[in-house]
Structure 1
């Protein structure tokens, strides 16, 4: 049986399952969970609450129309902020969903590419969770252990996009990225070494 756990997204309950070890994680698993959480925690509760108030307000308007002691103003006043909050959450969540989907697509593509190294005797691990971060990919090969950080950048609507490594930073069209992946992969490598 699969259950939720704080140290890892999913653990196998050893009392009910014959499987003793946790399954290996898939590429982009952390991003996939974040994507699900945005929808389940950030939108669904507000949607349900807004729907309830809309239904109650509609009912009250029907009662008013049929002249049976209505009070639609109260429920309408309660429905308006609920609907406004839902629309704001959807608007705000759309940007993050697009960003996470782009990152997820990149991690899956890199993970699938790395899987080809298994034929050469490499061991590949994806989405290794740390405290507040994750290692996107780790390749263990006879030549060494490699930490691979995946960054997926959207293309511009017009023109081309050039990535350049200057020895310290990766530059996109001569501009440093918001989060330096070189610094991140070095920190991840230190964490894995320890």
Structure 2
């Protein structure tokens, strides 16, 4: 109704996995539906042509049947990889939500927790702001083998997943995101604050060997509290409030 408006005055903060939800919906709406509806359309046309033929109306069923088959085969060809991508995205989204539930502990400890902070062509899954510092948490949700070990090892330079070198892009991503967040906080608050990056792997046993020095933590999300609570307090309550307020405003300003 035009004479009414929402009672909510401010835009909401983003929810865990919101970027992945948006990407999932975009794939379904913009791509998957097209490949599903196209063959249905031509199949209906083919049925109509066969009906005309059966009713002795001058038919042309073979043309429409061939077209329907071509479109159906093409659509299946396009949908299969989309389905795989949607499975991966949903798994990633569920991983972010699972980590977000674990982070509720930090809110009880009077820490500020933010989810899905959007930058330019990327997003940060979670940010924790506390007197112990600012922590960037990136969630990586990977499928596990049905049997056998599920171990990720990080020596400070290389990620080893079940004995195989794995995806060094994670390090580049997290370092870039941490720098961006550090610069954003400085721009918003005029305070220089170090950002501690962490990568969590739900469901995996994660071991850091510290063979090479690295500022990035890699761990199972259940161990996050030990790492954060083990840090010394470096920010005041006023600092936490200042940073949190500015981050909240920034997140709301990025909402469409």
TM-score range relative to shorter protein: 0.7 to 0.9
Instruction: Determine if contact 2:92/2:141 at 8 Å carries over to the other structure.
Output: yes
Give 1:177 shift. Answer: 2.3
Give 1:16 shift. Answer: 4.2
Q: Does 1:173 align with 2:173?
A: no
Q: Does 1:127 align with 2:116?
A: yes
1:151 & 1:177 partners in 2: Cα distance? Answer: 12
Q: Does 1:101 align with 2:83?
A: no
Count residues in correspondence: 181
Q: Does 1:22 align with 2:11?
A: yes
* SS class of match (2:156): coil
Map of 2:199 onto structure 1: none
Map of 2:63 onto structure 1: 74
* 1:135-171 alpha-carbon deviations (Å, 9 max, x no partner): 0000001111111110011111221121111112322
Instruction: Determine if contact 1:64/1:71 at 8 Å carries over to the other structure.
Output: yes
2:136 & 2:30 partners in 1: Cα distance? Answer: 31
Structure 1 stretches (4+) deviating beyond 6 angstroms?
A: none
Q: CA RMSD in A?
A: 1.8
| TM-score, structure 1 as length reference | 0.86
Deviates more, 1:144-153 or 1:180-189: 180-189
Cα distance change on mapping 1:159 and 1:118 into 2, 3 Å: same
Question: Equivalent of 1:142, from 112, 131, 134?
Answer: 131
1:167 & 1:128 partners in 2: Cα distance? Answer: 26
Alignment of 1:106-121 (within 5 A): 106-121=95-110
Instruction: Determine if contact 1:149/1:181 at 8 Å carries over to the other structure.
Output: no
Map of 1:86 onto structure 2: 75
Structure 2 residues not aligned, in runs of 5+: 184-256
Question: Equivalent of 1:51, from 27, 30, 40?
Answer: 40
Map of 2:181 onto structure 1: 192
Cα distance change on mapping 1:179 and 1:48 into 2, 3 Å: farther
* SS class of match (1:124): strand
Higher relative contact order (CA 8 A, sep 6+): 2
Question: Equivalent of 1:39, from 28, 46, 70?
Answer: 28
Map of 2:144 onto structure 1: 155
2:171 & 2:103 partners in 1: Cα distance? Answer: 19
Structure 1 residues not aligned, in runs of 5+: 1-14
Give 1:18 shift. Answer: 4.4
1:72 & 1:126 partners in 2: Cα distance? Answer: 55
